[in-house]
Amino acid sequence: MTASAARPLTFMIASAMLVAASVVSMTAIATAGEVADKAAEAETLLGGGQTSEAFAALDAAVDAFWAAAPLTLAQAYFIADDGKRPDGPFRPGEAAKVFVEPVGYGFTGADGAFAIGLKTGIEIRTPGRLILAKATDFAELAWKGPIRNRTFSGRVGIDLPELKAGDYELLLTVTDAASGKTATASLPFAIATQ
């Protein structure tokens, strides 16, 4: 193995160890120890020239971290058909679309197939937190494939109710079917005058 080939893997292991260290603030110390132990094992295996085994140990460290981490919405924002929606108010009665990128969800499945299942709920509120509309089982985001996909994202379409011109908040709650973990994003928006 050349030094240049080892450098990216060493960087990945170092990154995984930094991630493992950050787990202490999010989860029980026993879990952080498991992540750190698996990352250290990967580094030892790499140092011994056992690259395939090092990757397997690094994958085990990432799996342990992923399972221990809370469900988090890495990104959640309003989108248009061609990308991120420009800032500005919605027209009365306009549909809204929200892009979500969750991390820390669980997987279900068997026989070499893995599934992701996330349920969404929404609330539309005034700035004073008065709930104007609410749906606890609004939409489902799902994926199925042969790997544990950690780059899952989805879109949620929302037909906004007829609202007066003004400022509002969309509260999007995502619940993971596999783990029961939940995450919430607050998206402020405005309705334009007609």
Per-residue pLDDT of 10-60, as tens digits, reads: 444 444 444 444 443 444 444 568 888 888 898 999 999 999 999 999 988
What integer pLDDT is reported at residue 2 of this predicted model? 32
Same domain, 59 and 93: no
Q: How many whole angstroms separate alpha carbon 141 and alpha carbon 135?
A: 15
* Both tokens assigned to 172: 């999007």
Kindly report which listed range (8-22, 64-78, 106-120, 135-149) carries the lowest average pLDDT score: 8-22
Among the candidates 68, 88, 116, a domain finishes at 68
Q: Which domain holds residue 23?
A: 3-68
pLDDT category of residue 112 using cuts at 50, 70 and 90: confident
Among the candidates 49, 68, 87, a domain finishes at 68
Same domain, 44 and 79: no
* pLDDT tens sequence across 62-87: 888 998 899 999 999 999 988 889 88
What integer pLDDT is reported at residue 175 of this predicted model? 97
Tell me the average pLDDT across 107-132.
92
What is the average pLDDT score of the chain? 84
Q: How many whole angstroms separate alpha carbon 193 and alpha carbon 142?
A: 37
Q: How many whole angstroms separate alpha carbon 126 and alpha carbon 138?
A: 20
| % of the chain beyond a pLDDT of 90 | 60
User: Which residues have CB under 8 Å from 148's CB, separation 6+?
Assistant: 63, 66, 107, 114
The H or E element that residue 13 is part of is: helix 3-23
Domain count, the chain: 2
| % of the chain beyond a pLDDT of 70 | 84
Among the candidates 42, 68, 94, a domain finishes at 68
What CATH number should be reported for the domain holding residue 86?
Answer: 2.70.50.60
Same domain, 92 and 63: no
Same domain, 39 and 77: no
Kindly report which listed range (8-12, 127-131, 159-163) carries the lowest average pLDDT score: 8-12
